[in-house]
Amino acid sequence: MTPNTKKTNTPKANVHNSTDFKSIYVNFAQTAAGPTDISIGVGEALPTETGIPDIEIKARLVMAPLQAKIMLALIYQVVQQYEQQFGKIVVPPVIASQMMPELANPHSEKSA
């Protein structure tokens, strides 16, 4: 080891499921932000006879903005890996134009 090389012994977290852990299917999400936190409500949109979906919120994630930004990076990374393995995910134009305008028009400049 050279004098400029430091060996770090960063302990790894012991990650495990809690006793009340459950996995849920999600096809709906809504977000909200306040001065100190960001929340993501997740649930399932179910079809109805009227054609208006019935949305059942199953859980809400509430986190600090820093943790939300870290989660964003993790999700982005896993989506990139998914696309490398299985192919590009195509977002329907109507969703892209409403929810993700930067994807619908990638050449438009964002206002400062």
Cβ 60 vs Cβ 39: under 8 Å: yes
Report the DSSP beta bridge partners of residue 49: none
Q: What does the pLDDT look like over 33-72, one tens digit per residue?
A: 999 999 999 999 999 999 898 999 999 999 999 999 999 9
Residues 6+ apart with CB under 8 A from 9: none
Q: What does the pLDDT look like over 10-21, one tens digit per residue?
A: 778 999 999 999
Residue 95's pLDDT band, with cuts at 50, 70 and 90, is confident
* Residue 105: pLDDT over 60: no
Residue 97's pLDDT band, with cuts at 50, 70 and 90, is confident
C-alpha–C-alpha distance, residues 6 and 32, integer Å = 42
* Residue 4: pLDDT over 70: no
Two tokens, residue 60: 């809400």
